[in-house]
């Protein structure tokens, strides 16, 4: 798979495509499920750019039990918020013609919470990141920028105002983890540690656990844990109660299964898959803690 042009900006909140593939990981620590405010450096939002918004709504509501609310953005154009237990957990929108024309695939984009989007963007630039969009205000919801880290993985930063981001985490149907896949994990680790203050905790087989404050929130794969031909990317994990059942359900809904279900030592069971439009993500069933 070829990486999409990182210069192509993605509407409606002016973001960039995040390419994707499968991975391996090794740790999981549950956090409190309800979130009223995200700490700086937390993964605070996920957003799907897709080629068929209505089909995506059917797939994800069927798979995770999400409900949705559509907000008009123009003629025949709308932004979809996904909810669980009345809390926002994700969103989706339709990829724009210019994105499609430049080869931007359906993708899940990861947002990282910051206190000041302008200061973080300036610091990221000094650390070798490329600014692909912003910083700019998103109505009264917050302020954001789209960045590519020095290895090429794309992510967004979010300075919240009226929209704090994900309101429910680390229970079935919610974001619980994200992994960075890059051919240069040392450079990636250095960048994110300096930008967000993350601590990198060595795991098995060269895997690095990403700790934000006291919370383990994600990881960085070692080179032998990633698909060599895949471009740098972040991959999100959605928690499920039964990974095997959810994998079968996803397959029945038209998903492509890339990897798993497979057991991850001291962590749980995971599957990496793509929705019917091609956006890749992971399912994760954590091992119950004693």
Give CA–CA dist 82/57, Å, rounded: 8
Among 124-133, 163-172, 251-260, name the one with the lowest average pLDDT. 163-172
- Closest C-alpha to 148, from 225, 231, 48: 231
Task: Determine which helix (DSSP H) or strand (DSSP E) holds 119, and give its type and residue range.
Answer: helix 117-126
Determine the pLDDT at residue 290.
61
Q: Please determine, for residue 8, whether its predicted confidence score (pLDDT) is greater than 50.
A: no
Q: Please determine, for residue 72, whether its predicted confidence score (pLDDT) is greater than 80.
A: yes
> What's the pTM value of the predicted model, to 2 decimals?
0.88
Give CA–CA dist 23/283, Å, rounded: 12
Give CA–CA dist 27/266, Å, rounded: 6
Determine the pLDDT at residue 131.
96
pLDDT band, very low/low/confident/very high, at 139 (cuts 50, 70, 90): very high
Task: Determine which helix (DSSP H) or strand (DSSP E) holds 154, and give its type and residue range.
Answer: strand 154-160
Determine the pLDDT at residue 180.
97
- Return the number of other C-beta atoms located less than 10 Å from residue 134's C-beta: 21
Average the pLDDT over 116-132 and give the result: 97
pLDDT band, very low/low/confident/very high, at 102 (cuts 50, 70, 90): confident
- Return the number of other C-beta atoms located less than 10 Å from residue 290's C-beta: 3
Average the pLDDT over 109-137 and give the result: 97
- Return the number of other C-beta atoms located less than 10 Å from residue 67's C-beta: 13
What's the pLDDT tens digit per position in 171-200?
999 999 999 999 999 999 999 999 999 999
Q: Say if residues 243 and 270 touch (Cβ distance below 8 Å).
A: yes
Average the pLDDT over 9-35 and give the result: 40
What's the pLDDT tens digit per position in 203-231?
888 999 999 999 999 999 998 888 888 88
Give CA–CA dist 12/198, Å, rounded: 29
Determine the pLDDT at residue 266.
82
The domain covering 1-290 belongs, at the CATH homologous superfamily level, to: 2,3-Dihydroxybiphenyl 1,2-Dioxygenase, domain 1 (3.10.180.10)
Task: Report domain extents, the chain.
Answer: 1-290
Determine the pLDDT at residue 31.
52
What's the pLDDT tens digit per position in 259-287?
999 998 888 999 999 999 999 999 999 99
Could you give the percent of the chain with pLDDT greater than 70? 89
Give 168's DSSP letter: B
Determine the pLDDT at residue 237.
97
pLDDT band, very low/low/confident/very high, at 15 (cuts 50, 70, 90): very low
Q: Say if residues 157 and 111 touch (Cβ distance below 8 Å).
A: yes
pLDDT band, very low/low/confident/very high, at 69 (cuts 50, 70, 90): very high
Separation in Å, CA 185 to CA 83, 178, 221, 281? 34, 15, 7, 20
From the number of C-beta atoms within 10 Å of its C-beta (0-12, 13-18, 19+), residue 152 rates as: middle
Q: Please determine, for residue 28, whether its predicted confidence score (pLDDT) is greater than 90.
A: no
Q: Say if residues 17 and 49 touch (Cβ distance below 8 Å).
A: yes
């Amino acid at each position: 798979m070829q990486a999409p042009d990182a210069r192509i900006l993605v509407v409606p909140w002016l973001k960039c495509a995040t390419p994707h593939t499968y991975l391996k990981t090794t740790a999981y620590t549950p956090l409190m499920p309800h979130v009223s405010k995200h700490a700086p450096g937390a993964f605070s939002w996920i957003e799907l750019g897709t080629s068929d918004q209505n089909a995506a709504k059917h797939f994800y509501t069927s798979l995770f039990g999400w409900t949705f609310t559509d907000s008009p953005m123009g003629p025949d154009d709308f932004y979809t918020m996904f909810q669980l237990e009345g809390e926002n957990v994700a969103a989706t929108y339709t990829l724009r013609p210019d994105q499609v024309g430049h080869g931007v695939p359906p993708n899940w984009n990861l947002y990282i919470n910051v206190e000041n989007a302008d200061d973080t963007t300036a610091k990221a630039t000094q650390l070798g990141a490329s600014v692909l969009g912003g910083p700019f205000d998103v109505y009264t919801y917050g302020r954001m920028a789209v960045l590519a880290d020095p290895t090429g993985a794309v992510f967004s930063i979010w300075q919240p105002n009226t929209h704090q981001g994900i309101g429910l985490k680390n229970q079935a149907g919610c974001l619980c983890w994200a992994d960075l896949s890059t051919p240069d994990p040392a450079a990636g680790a250095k960048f994110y540690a300096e930008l967000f203050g993350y601590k990198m905790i060595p795991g098995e087989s060269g895997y690095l656990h990403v700790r934000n404050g006291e919370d383990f929130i994600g990881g960085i794969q070692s080179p032998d844990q990633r698909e060599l031909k895949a471009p740098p990317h972040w991959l999100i994990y959605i928690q499920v109660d039964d990974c095997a059942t959810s994998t079968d359900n996803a397959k029945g809904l038209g998903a492509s299964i890339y990897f798993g279900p497979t057991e991850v030592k001291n962590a749980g069971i995971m599957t990496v898959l793509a929705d019917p439009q091609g956006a890749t993500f992971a399912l994760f069933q954590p091992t119950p803690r004693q």
